[in-house]
Structure 1
Amino acid sequence: MNKQTNRQSESGNVLFLILIAVALFAALSYAVTKSTRSGGGSTEKEKATLSSAAMTQYPTALRTAIIRMVLNGVSVRSMYFDAPASFGGASTETLVFHPDGGGATYQDAPEDMMVNPGVGTWYFNANFDVPEIGRDGADGSDIVAFLPGVTGAVCEKINSEFGITAGTCVMNGAIPQADAAVTDALISDTLVEPTVTPFPGTGVDSPDLQCDSGTAFSGQATGCFYESVVGQNVFYAVLLER
């Protein structure tokens, strides 16, 4: 009788432990599932952080290449951003991406930074004057790198990292909208040889790269804005201030 009672007691204990294990496993599964679902936002934030870091590193490398060219005696007005496949008539020492010039690496932006599928294309020009960066007014146009079509999350992260706030700017969601003078035609332009888009002439006062109805980008060498005509977010970085 005692043996049977002991067996029943042991069976009851085992069953109780199994039930506890099942309950704990169910609770753990629920917690993991909940964490995974709620972690989507964190994953997106981490992705935006990594993308924004990669995006800002590339212009930094280009600045180094341009400084090297200046030290080697290349005039700012004679620098060209031809892709390697387009190397041709220009003296090789004037090409930012040529080993004889700046020696910079030509690359597209990873597609995970972009709204539309496919890699992003960089543009390099001197069509704008970033207020309070270098000289303002005549002869103040800066050489700027542009990357149109970046995601809103990356754009917001860039502005957050560089302390760019709305102020009185017209906003597109959480992103400052560019002034009407900041057009896609001027953004999507690159200084190449032969000069399809020449460097601004002496005494020319280029449009300010600024937000609509505000001053969010004054003194900001790096930032991101919304261009309303095409309807796209555009990252920019000053490569050489003038």
Structure 2
Amino acid sequence: MNKSLLIADATVEVKSPNQVFFCPEESQFYAQCLEKMVFSQGPTPEPIIEFGAGDGSPVIQALLSSSFQGLVQGYELNPDAHQLAQRRIEQYGLTPYYQVKNACFFDHTPATARYLIANPPYLPAPDNQLYMPSLHGGNDGAAITNQLLAHGCEQVMVMISAYSNPVDTVNYAIQLGYEVVDFMVTPLKFGYYSCEPKVRDSIARLKRQRQAFFSERIYFLAGVLFRQKSTSTTCLSEEFLKVMTAL
């Protein structure tokens, strides 16, 4: 496998941020979370499934930066993003390790899947009439995340925003039998998608309800590794929530 780092690819057609999700800082952090919390565990006995592969760059970056030899099976509804992902996977010779289907995750994922990764939509808004509708995460931003947790995988590594009801999300995961066994957190500035007026109004409402936590300029984004409860694991749920609600 080519271990050179993924960089801006001039050979791949550039898409509008309204067509394909584009936030280099967030994608790079997602890649770091994958590399350190998922791929470092070594190959899994079954494929790792990914909800919302996007343009594929986070998983590609993590694969190029690690020695992971397993298979990641991604699902991406957006045909433009799927096209970009396919081109990049082929360019870096990663087809044996990363495959992306232009299909709905919930319609095609095996019910027996054990390992799940995702940077799901988490923009809170009353409806999906946004710059990019597919980034809508429900009224509190956590709807898709909770739906993924309810899928019942043994291990889930998911990105969680501090302005998208993180406390209720973690409590819901605990009710489903999960524990937080690892996490990574980074500060991000509000950007193109999160600065849309409808979104900012929603997160302001959530903050008043103590369901969103952020400062004027930044919010925390976390990669959180959930695992079904085991007597051998250390639970970091309380520690994680202390960090996420600090602002």
Which TM-score tier does this pair reach, normalised by the shorter chain?
A: under 0.3
When the two structures are superposed, what TM-score results if normalisation uses the length of structure 2? 0.25
Structure with a larger share of its residues in helix = 1
User: Which has the higher Rg, Structure 1 or Structure 2?
Assistant: 1
Q: Of the two structures, which has the highest relative contact order with CA contacts closer than 8 Å and spacing of 6 or more?
A: 1
Structure with a larger share of its residues in strand = 2
When the two structures are superposed, what TM-score results if normalisation uses the length of structure 1? 0.25
